[in-house]
Amino acid sequence: MDWKVLLEQAPSGGMTYLGWLASGLFWTLAVSACAWVIAFAVGSVVGVARTVPLAAARLAATAYVELFRNIPLLVQMFLWYFVMPEVIPKDWGDWLKQDMPNLLTLPFAAQFSLWEFTAAVLCLGLYTASRVAEQVRSGIQSLPRGQTSAGLAIGLTLPQVYRHVTLPMAYRIIIPPMTSEFLTIFKNSSTALTIGVLELTAQSRQISEYTFKTFEAFTAATLIYIAITMTVIFAMRALEKRVAVPGYIAQGGGH
């Protein structure tokens, strides 16, 4: 074991190997957070669309979920990064590949451009949206049917029922599965290393290649992943408690 290697000066970036790991963590979190915004927004819309009394909306939403769920994430990553610039008008594609700004100016300077980052975020976000949509749908469908009827009966419109009755309950119910979806995005963000995003896993491998201290490099990255996972789980438990409705047993609680 030689943990001091992490404090040695790395060959690039003007930082130590520990700095590389920190930079990797920064990009892992940046990709995950941006992708989560897309996943949550698109997933909510698609999930709600799967429950509305409008056949065309339901069909489109189902098609979305099936399409994104049945193609491996890594293949989707390649479709966004390699294939998309080739099938859109040539000028646009060239702009994506060549003219997107390099990220060297940002903190934790990276040797990849905004296009790699964007492709990774789009891919992870839209892929996870299909999973979030399923959670939203099952959350809505787990509510008693009488709730919607009761809302309509007091004169609310259907969108108002969703806004004030259905969704507030459904989102509370799905906090635990949404936590695991966020952790899934966080872990899946390592797939972005295949298109050159130097996130945490990529950095730990790079350190192992430069220093041959594979065990130390992998252990350090693994510990960081565990620490973040635990932080998220505790934070979400706290959130779950704060928004809990008295007298209504959340699905995650008890046994």
* Binding interface with another protein (CB under 8 A): 66-67, 69-76, 78-79, 82-83, 86-90, 187-191, 193-194, 201, 204-205, 208, 214-215, 218, 221-222, 225-226, 229-230
Shortest Å distance, C-beta 14 to another protein: 26
Please give the DSSP secondary-structure letter assigned to residue 255. -
Q: Give the residue with the Cβ less far from another protein, 128 or 204.
A: 204
Is residue 205 within 8 A of residue 217, CB to CB? The reply is yes
> Would you say 47 or 151 has its CB closer to another protein?
47
Tell the smallest beta-carbon distance from residue 12 to another protein (Å). Answer: 21
CA angle 107, 112, 115 (to 5 degrees): 105
Joined tokens for residue 85: 């610039």
The answer to whether 39 and 121 have CB atoms below 8 angstroms apart is: no
Looking at the Cβ atoms of 44 and 189, the one nearer to another protein is 189
Quote the least distance from Cβ 44 to another protein, whole Å.
23
Find where tokens 């390699």 sit: 82
Of 58 and 205, which CB lies nearer to another protein in the complex structure? Answer: 205
Question: Smallest distance, Å, CB 188 to another protein?
Answer: 7
**Alpha helices for the chain (secondary structure H):** 17-49, 55-69, 73-78, 84-87, 90-94, 114-141, 145-153, 158-161, 167-173, 175-188, 200-211, 214-243
> Given the complex with another protein, which of 3 and 82 has the nearer CB atom?
82
Q: How far is the CB of 21 from another protein (least distance, A)?
A: 13
Please, which residue, 114 or 233, has the CB nearer to another protein? 233
How far apart, in Å, are the Cα atoms of 229 and each of 62, 77, 186, 241, 250? Answer: 31, 23, 9, 19, 22
Closest C-alpha to 108, from 212, 31, 183: 31
In the bound complex, what is the minimum distance in angstroms from residue 138's beta carbon to another protein?
A: 14
